[in-house]
Amino acid sequence: MDYHKCKVAIVGNMNNNHFALLRYLLDQGIDATLLLYNNETDHFLPERDTWHIEKWEPRIKKMDIDMYGKSIFTKSRSSIASQFGSYDIYIGHGFTPGYFAFIKKTLDIFIPFGIYVEGLQFSKGSVVKKLFKQILVRLQKKGLNNCNYAIAFEKETQEVLSNYSCNIKRYPIPMVYVENSCREDDESLNNIIQKFKAYDLVLFSHVSLIWKKNQSWWLDGGKGNDKLIKGFAKYIKKSKRKSLLALVEYGSDILETKDLVKELGIEDHVLWLPIMPRKMIVKLLRHVTFGGGEFWGYLWGGTGWEFMSEGVPFFQYVDMDVDTFEKERGLPFPKIINTQDPTDICNHLLDYEKNPEPYIKMGKELKVWFEKYAGVGLAAKYKDLIVQICKEKSNQGV
């Protein structure tokens, strides 16, 4: 089967990851279509990630089933199967493996949401709720065992998926598609940019604020946003520069974060921003000095990839030495500012005042690293995998 004639469906769109993959694959000459579930998060719909949605709309279709698998209790097997259409290769995340087990099809590539594999956790609650969840978990496991390939960048994901029969590919998830052109007439965005320009240094963090009340089963210790804020507060007390910390009102600990800002006496140096789509965030990133990532010890997520894609040096704590990272991930460790110590964060900001060039160089190197290992270079790997699957199916007479 010629890969040019191979029709690819990408199912689901958590965090707009698959919309990014769609655009990369189309650029690579793959005939791809994005299939959206009927309850995709509004904040992460494709139009939130591009200024040119009209260009991509012909490649986007909406299904009438939900992303969590509840539709198996309300719709027939044939009805659900019809939602997925007729494509040669299917790539999916979330409960897609479970759906494919239900309709007795094989998922070609499974891409998990993030570190852990979704759909395998049992829920608490009533007996009926537990029973429904058991059915979904059983289907998800069956679907994973029948999946051809699975993507696992993090060691934890690799360990979970190694319990199933799918072939594991150690690739990052292509989370950010860089669009060079954007609208210049968005008044609210331009107002923020003008505020940024009034400062000598802008530290920007759009990571969800989760550090005080940790209620998530997977997020051990929260995202450590308080460490960044405390580091910035130390810096403010030692610097004479006009500096700004920009935070987004996003996450479970917004009020606690505002209390911390007040307690540290830096209210006049903090700008609170509303939740914004990625297409706006990446434009803002072209006007900041540093980015603030996550400080809970794991690898960066979408925010880190966004900093890299725009060449922004950023603070992020990864509890792993360089050699271990390169051995487990198969990639060189990017030149992030790897720390969770507020004093260290403060010292880096002070050092930037005296000698900005190393940090400017760091940003440029991050952008090159991103293009090679998480942008166009990564897209080429996904294309190669699709071509390989096309050949395998052709050899099998599928």
- Please list the residues that pair with 247 across neighbouring strands: 205, 272
The amino acid at 315: F
Sketch out the chain's domains with CATH numbers.
8-176+376-396 (3.40.50.2000), 187-373 (3.40.50.2000)
pLDDT at residue 148, rounded to an integer: 97
pTM exceeds cut of 0.85: yes
Angle, helix 225-238 to helix 254-263, in steps of 10 degrees = 20
The low-confidence residues of the chain, meaning pLDDT below 50, are 217
Tokens 């793959």 found at: 30
CA 335-325-154 angle, 5° bins:
110
> What is the number of alpha carbons within 13 Å of residue 272 lying toward its C-beta?
12
Q: State phi, psi for 205 to the nearest 5 degrees.
A: -140, 120
Q: What secondary structure does DSSP assign to 158-182, as a single string?
A: HHHHTTSSSEEE-------------
pLDDT at residue 318, rounded to an integer: 95
- Please list the residues that pair with 10 across neighbouring strands: 34, 91
pLDDT at residue 186, rounded to an integer: 81
